[in-house]
Amino acid sequence: MKSTVLLSALLLSTACVAFAANPFGLFDFNLRGADPAAQIHSLDGIGYDGITMPLNNPKDLEKLEAYQKAKPDLKLFAALFNINVDKPESFNRANLHATARKLGSMNAKVWLIIT
């Protein structure tokens, strides 16, 4: 009996540590709501710790700013930045720099996708 209780406590504490070390995020294109505030608040209370979203253009950065305005403690785990080598216009150096600054300020990762 004593060993069962000890084992249960050990498993529970291990699960809690594992949960804390592995946050649960959502891609922003799965959000529901009419505007960014409603979309980001759709995460409240259902277990998501933060989001991952594309940041390919200034409109995406504006959307992230709207999310942060609605939820200042928003966690951005990663941003998808896509460069299409067949379309040079898909690479905007100024936007890449703005994206990098934003990701750095939020301690987020960048997923660079080259197609």
Structure pTM?
0.71
Q: One digit per residue, pLDDT tens: the chain, 115 residues?
A: 544 443 344 334 444 444 455 676 777 776 777 888 888 888 877 878 888 899 888 899 999 999 999 999 889 998 988 888 898 777 778 888 888 888 899 999 888 888 8
pLDDT at position 30 is 67
Distances (CA, A) of 114 to 64, 82, 86, 90: 22, 6, 10, 10
- What residue has token string 């660079």? 112
pLDDT at position 15 is 43
